[in-house]
Structure 1
Amino acid sequence: MNYYLGRGVPGSQLMMGFPLYGRGFKLQDPSKHAPYDPSNGPMDGCPYSEEPGFCGYNELCERIFGQSGWTDVHDGDMQAIYSYKGSNWIGWDDLNIVKLKLDYLKSIGVGGAMLWSIDTDDFRGLCGPKYAIANLIWSELNGAADSEGRE
């Protein structure tokens, strides 16, 4: 965002993207799980998307949060979260990270936000309220939404 704003693109013409998925890898050494540690390629695909190295937020709620043994790490320097279990490592955005990004978006005055993609939000409410990320983005940018996602 700063790159474009610094080169004269009006903030009103910019949108910040919010991924509703995580990207995962197989660690070369399970004891080395920090960002940028070596990997052996993507982790196995999640049950619905089946794409190696990709898990929708809804799949994360089911696969990662629904199973024991996963460790979450909130990296304060990167303002990011990642989780690992054995040789599996995945980076993703939780509600706290989304809120930080929204605060940044509002502070620099860009035009808005977009999600990719709505079908991978937590539509079952396994991690909290249904469509928690979409509703958080909506309410932060437009005011409170009702239970159906409307203002």
Structure 2
Amino acid sequence: MSPSSSSRDFAQHVGRFRWPLTAAELTDTSRCPACSTTLPAPVCPSCGLDLRHPAARELLAASTDAAAALEKRVQLIGQIRFEVAEAQAASEVAAQQRALEQVAARADEAERRVAAERRVAAERRAKAQAQAQRAAEADAARAAQAASQAAQAH
């Protein structure tokens, strides 16, 4: 690079240029970095870019850095998508677990209510049977007493 090169903008002199379609194209030394034509020699037969120039090494380094940055970008996009999907899945699983726990709690409560209602009904039946038994015993005692009184009166 010449001393005056560091402060000049050379983009206006780029000439024929094609943006690489992939990060791998940035580091493919078998193709011209400007137009992507296959390079049989250090000078591109299609666009004339002379890769014997001292800045060609710097161009390859910049291309390698750009490829690494693009790969890093792809990795970050993938990481974001993966981690967001993973968090959403975990959230959905947790929500489903909470819903299942609520359903189970309601089922347990319903079972407890049914069991309590059955106990109350059984207690009522037992009380009714006991009352009926006592009434039958009282009726039998009264009948026996009436029979005894009737026998004494005769």
Superposition TM-score tier, normalisation by shorter sequence: under 0.3
Which structure shows the bigger proportion of residues in helix conformation?
2
TM-score, normalised relative to structure 2:
0.24
Larger Rg: 2
TM-score, normalised relative to structure 1:
0.25
* Higher RCO, 1 vs 2 (CA within 8 Å, ≥6 residues apart): 1
